Amino acid sequence: MANYEFGIDLGGTTCKIGLFQGEEMIDKWEIPTDTSDGGKNILRDIADSVKAKIEEKAIAKDDIKGLGIGVPGPVTDDGTVHNCVNLGWGTVNISEKLGELSGYPVKVGNDANVAALGESWMGGGKDYNSVVVVTLGTGIGGGIIINDRIIAGAHGAGGEIGHMLVNPEEELACNCGLHGCIEQYASATGIVRTANRYLDATDTESVLRKEANISAKTVFDAAREGDALALTIVDDVCEKLAKTLARLATVVDPEVFLIGGGVSKAGQILLDHVAEPYKKYAFHACRDTKIGLATLGNDAGMYGAARMVLD
Ligand SMILES: [Zn+2]
What does 114-126 look like in DSSP terms, one character per residue? Answer: HHHHHHHHHSTTT
- Per mean pLDDT, which range of 18-22, 76-80, 137-141, 277-281 is the poorest? 76-80
Q: What is the mean pLDDT of residues 260-276?
A: 97
CA of 245 to the centre of ligand 1 (A): 16
pLDDT at 195: 98
pLDDT per position as a tens digit, 163-215: 999 999 999 999 999 999 999 999 999 999 999 999 999 999 999 999 999 99
| % of the chain exceeding 70 in pLDDT | 100
CA of 188 to the centre of ligand 1 (A): 14
CA of 298 to the centre of ligand 1 (A): 23
Residue 225 has pLDDT above 80, yes or no: yes
pLDDT at 83: 81
The rounded distance, in Å, linking the Cα atoms of 68 and 306 is 5
CA of 109 to the centre of ligand 1 (A): 21
- Which of the pair, 74 or 119, is modelled with greater confidence? 119
- For residue 89, report the phi and psi dihedrals to the nearest 5 degrees: -90, 145
CA of 57 to the centre of ligand 1 (A): 44
pLDDT category, 155, cuts 50, 70, 90? confident
Q: What is the mean pLDDT of residues 248-274?
A: 97
Contact 288, 275 (CB under 8 A): no
Residues surrounding ion ligand 1 at CB below 5 Å: 163, 174, 176, 178, 181
pLDDT at 148: 87
The rounded distance, in Å, linking the Cα atoms of 309 and 164 is 30
Q: Name the strands in the sheet holding 14-21, side by side, starting at the edge strand that comes first in the sequence.
A: 24-32, 14-21, 4-10, 64-71, 106-110
Residue 154 has pLDDT above 90, yes or no: no
CA of 179 to the centre of ligand 1 (A): 7
**Mean pLDDT in the chain?**
95
The rounded distance, in Å, linking the Cα atoms of 154 and 270 is 33
pLDDT category, 114, cuts 50, 70, 90? very high
The rounded distance, in Å, linking the Cα atoms of 285 and 290 is 13
Domains in the chain (CATH in brackets) are 4-117+299-310 (3.30.420.40), 127-295 (3.30.420.40)
pLDDT per position as a tens digit, 69-91: 999 988 888 899 988 878 889 89
What are the strands, taking DSSP E only, across 156-261? 256-260
pLDDT category, 136, cuts 50, 70, 90? very high
pLDDT at 220: 98
CA of 94 to the centre of ligand 1 (A): 27
- For residue 133, report the phi and psi dihedrals to the nearest 5 degrees: -105, 130
Residue 254 has pLDDT above 90, yes or no: yes
55 burial (CB, 10 Å; 0-12 / 13-18 / 19+) is exposed
Indicate the SS3 state at residue 184.
helix
Would you put residue 33 in left (φ > 0), alpha (ψ -120 to 50) or beta?
A: beta
Residue 47 has pLDDT above 90, yes or no: yes
Q: What is the mean pLDDT of residues 48-59?
A: 97
pLDDT category, 64, cuts 50, 70, 90? very high
Residue 1 has pLDDT above 80, yes or no: no
Contact 278, 242 (CB under 8 A): yes
Q: What is the mean pLDDT of residues 280-308?
A: 97
Q: Give the chain's end-to-end CA distance (angstroms, integer).
A: 13
Residue 5 has pLDDT above 80, yes or no: yes
CA of 144 to the centre of ligand 1 (A): 18
CA of 186 to the centre of ligand 1 (A): 12
CA of 132 to the centre of ligand 1 (A): 19
Residues paired with residue 252 on neighbouring β-strands, in sequence order: none
pLDDT at 209: 96
